[in-house]
C-alpha cells in the first residue's frame, strides 16, 4: 500500500532513472549495446530495486505508464548515442507481461521511436521466456508487429521457462539471453556447464545471437568464449551505470 501510493506519484516527481549495463561482443571485447534497468530514488532517500516495485507496478496497472516512461527515456538515450556517432549501438528495454499483452503495444513502441527520432534498429526489446507460451498464437502476432517496426526481440531469462522449441523457432526473435542462474556456477558445476553449452548450440542452430548475463569471473568469461557465446554482460565488465557514466566508459575506449 505504502509502496503503491509512492509509485503513483513517482513519475510526476521524476523519481525514476534508467541505468545502463554494457553488453560486450565476446570476440572483440567491444561494448555493442546496453540493457536499460530502471531505478527508483524516492524523495525520502535511498533506492528501491525494480525487483521490489515492478511486481507492485504490474499488480496495480502502473506498469503501463511506467513502462511508457522507460521506453520514451531509453529511445531518447539511444537516439542520442547514435547521433554522437556510435554506429550500431543498441539499447535493450525489458517489457513486462502486462505491456506485451496491451493491444496497443506495437503503436506504443512505434510512437516512442518516432517521438525520440530513434532508429528502430537502435532498440531491442527483452521479454521473458515465460511470457511466450501463455498464448503463443497471440504473442506471435504481437512479436511480428514489433519485428516489422525494425526493433529486435530478445528472450530474457532463457532456460528458466518452458518454451516449446517448435514455437521458439516460429517466433521472429533475434537473441537468447542465458539466465544468470546457469552462469553463476560454471565452469565448475558440470550440470550447468552442459546446459549453457546446449543453449549456445541451440541458439546458433536457430541462427540466433546468444548472450550470457551475470558474468562475474574471468573463468566464466573464458568458458563462454571457448563455447562461442556471442555477447557477455555482467559485473565483471560493469554494473548498470547512469547514462553520463556509461558515456564516459564508452569514451574511454570500451
Ligand atoms: O537491475 P536489477 O537486477 O535490479 O533488476 C531487477 C529486475 O527488474 C530484473 O528482473 C529486471 O529485468 C527488472 N527490470 C529492471 N528494469 C525494468 C524495466 O524497465 N521494466 C521491467 N518490466 N522490468 C525491469
Ligand atoms: O531479469 P533481467 O535479466 O532483466 O535482470 C537483470 C538483473 O541482473 C538486473 O537486476 C541486474 O542489475 C542484475 N545483474 C547484472 N549483472 C549481474 C551480475 O554480474 N551478477 C548479478 N548477481 N546480477 C547482475
Ligand atoms: Mn533483462
Ligand atoms: Na535475465
Q: Whose CA is nearest to atom 24 of ligand 1?
A: 94
pLDDT for res 189: 87
pLDDT at residue 253 greater than cutoff 80: no
pLDDT at residue 5 greater than cutoff 90: no
**Residue pair 20/34 in contact by the 8 Å Cβ criterion:** yes
pLDDT at residue 76 greater than cutoff 80: yes
Instruction: Please give the average per-residue pLDDT across 210-229, as a whole number.
Output: 98
Taking the centre of ligand 3 as the mean of its atom positions, its distance from the CA of residue 235, in whole angstroms, is 14
pLDDT for res 147: 98
pLDDT, one tens digit per residue, over 108-117 is 999 999 999 9
In the beta sheet, which residues pair with residue 176? 155, 210
Best of 62, 94, 99, 213 to mutate for ligand 1, by most ligand atoms within 8 A of CB? 94
pLDDT for res 4: 82
Element (H, E) at 172: none
Instruction: Please give the average per-residue pLDDT across 7-20, as a whole number.
Output: 95
pLDDT at residue 254 greater than cutoff 70: no
Residues in CB range of 178: below 8 A, 6 or more apart = 158, 159, 196, 199, 200, 210, 211, 212, 213, 229
Q: Whose CA is nearest to atom 20 of ligand 2?
A: 214
Angle, vertex CA 75, rays to CA 71 and CA 76, nearest 5: 120
**Residue bearing the bigger pLDDT, 132 or 215:** 215
pLDDT, one tens digit per residue, over 141-169 is 999 999 999 999 999 999 998 888 888 88
In the beta sheet, which residues pair with residue 215? none
The bound ligand whose nearest atom lies closest to the alpha carbon of 37 is 1
pLDDT at residue 40 greater than cutoff 70: yes
Q: What are the domain boundaries of the chain?
A: 2-251
2-251 is classed CATH 3.20.20.450: yes
pLDDT for res 82: 97
pLDDT for res 3: 81
pLDDT for res 88: 96
- Calculate the average pLDDT of the chain: 95
Residue 1 banded pLDDT, cuts 50, 70, 90 = low
Amino acid at each position: 500500500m505504502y509502496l503503491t501510493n509512492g509509485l503513483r506519484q513517482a513519475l510526476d516527481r521524476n523519481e525514476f532513472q534508467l541505468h545502463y549495463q554494457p553488453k560486450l561482443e565476446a570476440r572483440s571485447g567491444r561494448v555493442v549495446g546496453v540493457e536499460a534497468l530502471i531505478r527508483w530514488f524516492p524523495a525520502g532517500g535511498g533506492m528501491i530495486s525494480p525487483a521490489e516495485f515492478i511486481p507492485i507496478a504490474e499488480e496495480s496497472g502502473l506498469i503501463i505508464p511506467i513502462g511508457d516512461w522507460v521506453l520514451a527515456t531509453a529511445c531518447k538515450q539511444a537516439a542520442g548515442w547514435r547521433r554522437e556517432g556510435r554506429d550500431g549501438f543498441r539499447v535493450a528495454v525489458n517489457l513486462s507481461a502486462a505491456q506485451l499483452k496491451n493491444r496497443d503495444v506495437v503503436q506504443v513502441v512505434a510512437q516512442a521511436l518516432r517521438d525520440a527520432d530513434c532508429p528502430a534498429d537502435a532498440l531491442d526489446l527483452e521479454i521473458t521466456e515465460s511470457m511466450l507460451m501463455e498464448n503463443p498464437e497471440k504473442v506471435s502476432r504481437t512479436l511480428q508487429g514489433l519485428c516489422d517496426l525494425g526493433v529486435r526481440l530478445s528472450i530474457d531469462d532463457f532456460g528458466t521457462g518452458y518454451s516449446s522449441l517448435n514455437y521458439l523457432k516460429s517466433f521472429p526473435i533475434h537473441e537468447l539471453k542465458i539466465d544468470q542462474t546457469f552462469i553463476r556456477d560454471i565452469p565448475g558445476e558440470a550440470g550447468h556447464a552442459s546446459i549453457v553449452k546446449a543453449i549456445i548450440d541451440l541458439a546458433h542452430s536457430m541462427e540466433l545471437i546468444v548472450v550470457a548475463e551475470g558474468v562475474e569471473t574471468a573463468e566464466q568469461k573464458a568458458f563462454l568464449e571457448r563455447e562461442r557465446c556471442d555477447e557477455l554482460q555482467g559485473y565483471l565488465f560493469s554494473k548498470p551505470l547512469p547514462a553520463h557514466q556509461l558515456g564516459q566508459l564508452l569514451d574511454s575506449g570500451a
